[in-house]
Structure 1
Amino acid sequence: MSAPSLLGVFAHPDDESLSAGGVLARHAAAGARTAVVTATWAADTPRAGELAEALRILGAGRPRLLGYADDRVPRSAPGRARFRDAPLDEAVRQLVAALREFRPEIVVTHDAYGGLTGHPDHVHTHRVTVLAVEAAGLERLYPEAGAPWRPSALYLATHPHSALRVWGGHLAAAGKSLHSVPDEWISATVDVRPWLERKIAALLAHRTEVARGAAPGLVAGLAESERARLLGTEWFIRHSLRSPALSALPTGTVRTELTV
């Protein structure tokens, strides 16, 4: 049975590689359709070009950019509102259109904390994605955005408390507060080490972030064994959708892959 199609929805270029690069590469290698929607940065910026290279490495097609401004970098989208300042209905409509156009079986996005660092753009991307996934299947909502499509599953990329033993030593030293969830909340723990080379190559394709010492820069300076410790596993919470048939997995059930 082939892997289900997968659409990632993330805040910034590089989030796709950090949060779900292994899963994206895994699904693409299995012949599934994969793609990524990125909420911020304009198409004519260097970071959009870096995103295109990263997605090529992961097998995730062309960039799909909503084109809003990064919360902390106004030049990321000159003349456009910051993502968090844009009308919520406008952002949801754009993402509904992307969902209906790509028609994924699985959607992956940030968790409600916005991942380890809690970046406000990550948090807002989570909110917009949850709303859009629900709206995409309702024919009377945003009829101009295409024919209705309801994904079968929504997964939230996250980190369990136990992962802080690895990540904490790197990010705590940078003065960052960390956001994680109880281990029992995890629905899927995915070993992505077979696709780690692609994941790291995609991450390092974000050369702007490498140069400024952000997370890709941190990874660039690590030994191969430490890269595997940091990035060889990806964790996800399955978000309950309204249909009983699509409800969350029973408590204590942990998959080793993302399933519909």
Structure 2
Amino acid sequence: MPSLLAVYAHPDDESLFSGGVLARNAAEGGRTAVVTATWAEGTHRARELAEALTILGVPEKPRLLGYADSRVPSSAPGSPRLCDAPLDDSVGRLVAHIREFRPEIVVTHDAYGGVTGHEDHVHTHRVTALAVQAAGLERLYPEAGAPWRAGVLYLAAHPHSAIRALREFEEAGEDMWTVPDERITTTVDVRPWLDRKWAAVSAHRSEAQRGAAPGLLATLPAKARERILGTEWYIRQDLMSDTRKGETELTGR
């Protein structure tokens, strides 16, 4: 299995958007890690993230860029909000993780930032798209380590055809940021990993308690959760012209 680095905005995004792919890749022997853009070491959400990754079978500790959640300034005391940080700084921090981990695949939010369109999700997409390019150029961020070119970027998205299932989910109202079905290149059935994925989502207890996505999902029948969480969709973007597709497929060989 390929090495895979997932880059998401908040603790819980990794489990909600890509928990099945992360669990599968790790279980099948692929090096797997997660970078989270917001919340600082020592906070309760960083601890929940570490627990969720353990449940998913990801052996690495969370990698945190250390910025504040745009809606929770106390999430990273003394640090700017992710959306306010100098772009060069945030890209450089992520380049260092890419060069150190050396992934074949990078996964992140799509340009809409997923169905909610959250501003931190959108900005994390921008930072990641720039960082995967910059990481391969030796004259950019030379202090961040030796250059590394990932082969593929996968953008986690939801197609228009998923709207019916999403409407079972109270948070998903009329204004859902979905993409045309033909834009989706990769559809992954993660039902074999759904128990583990749901356990990882549930590990984000503080989000459940405040009524965010993990809590709203917990109110649904198991079959409804399966319809929402049992499939993961991605838009594949090749970063190198000579990338061998069979070796960088999220759906396996």
Task: Classify the TM-score, shorter chain.
Answer: over 0.9
The aligned counterpart of 1:244 is 241
After superposition, give the CA deviation of every residue in 1:118-165 in whole Å (9 maximum; x if it has no partner): 000000000000000001011111111011111110000000000001
What one-letter code is carried by the residue in structure 2 that aligns with 1:257? L
SS at match of 2:35: strand
Q: Distance in 2 between matches of 1:152 and 1:195?
A: 25
2:186/2:250 contact within 8 Å kept: yes
After superposition, give the CA deviation of every residue in 1:78-118 in whole Å (9 maximum; x if it has no partner): 11100000000000000000001111110000000000000
1:34/1:59 contact within 8 Å kept: no
What one-letter code is carried by the residue in structure 1 that aligns with 2:242? A
2:136/2:149 contact within 8 Å kept: yes
Deviation at 1:246, TM superposition (A): 4.3
The aligned counterpart of 1:68 is 67
The aligned counterpart of 2:175 is 177
1:52/1:62 contact within 8 Å kept: yes
Deviation at 1:220, TM superposition (A): 1.4
Deviation at 1:169, TM superposition (A): 3.4
After TM superposition, the score normalised by the length of structure 1 is 0.92
2:98/2:148 contact within 8 Å kept: yes
Q: Does 1:230 align with 2:223?
A: no
Change (3 A) 1:89 1:258: farther
What one-letter code is carried by the residue in structure 2 that aligns with 1:118? G
Deviation at 1:221, TM superposition (A): 1.6
Deviation at 1:32, TM superposition (A): 0.7
1:240/1:247 contact within 8 Å kept: no
Deviation at 1:201, TM superposition (A): 0.4
What one-letter code is carried by the residue in structure 1 that aligns with 2:140? L
Deviation at 1:245, TM superposition (A): 2.8
Q: Does 1:140 align with 2:124?
A: no
2:167/2:173 contact within 8 Å kept: no
Change (3 A) 1:247 1:33: closer
SS at match of 2:64: strand
Q: Distance in 2 between matches of 1:65 and 1:231?
A: 25
Q: Distance in 2 between matches of 1:150 and 1:56?
A: 28
2:138/2:146 contact within 8 Å kept: yes
1:115/1:157 contact within 8 Å kept: yes
Give the alignment of 1:73-152 within 5 angstroms: 73-152=72-151
Q: Does 1:38 align with 2:36?
A: yes
Q: Distance in 2 between matches of 1:203 and 1:10?
A: 14
Change (3 A) 1:256 1:87: closer
SS at match of 1:170: coil
Task: Among all aligned residue pairs of Structure 1 and Structure 2, give the percentage whose two residues are the same amino acid.
Answer: 67
Deviation at 1:175, TM superposition (A): 4.6
What is the number of equivalent residue pairs in this alignment? 251
Q: Distance in 2 between matches of 1:86 and 1:185?
A: 31
Deviation at 1:45, TM superposition (A): 0.6
Give the alignment of 1:10-29 within 5 angstroms: 10-29=8-27
After TM superposition, the score normalised by the length of structure 2 is 0.94
Change (3 A) 1:114 1:121: same
Change (3 A) 1:227 1:169: closer
What one-letter code is carried by the residue in structure 2 that aligns with 1:192? V
SS at match of 2:168: helix
1:11/1:122 contact within 8 Å kept: yes
Q: Distance in 2 between matches of 1:259 and 1:133?
A: 22
**Structure 2 gap ranges (5+):** none
> Any runs of at least 4 consecutive aligned residues in structure 1 with deviations exceeding 6 A, and if so which?
none
1:103/1:149 contact within 8 Å kept: yes
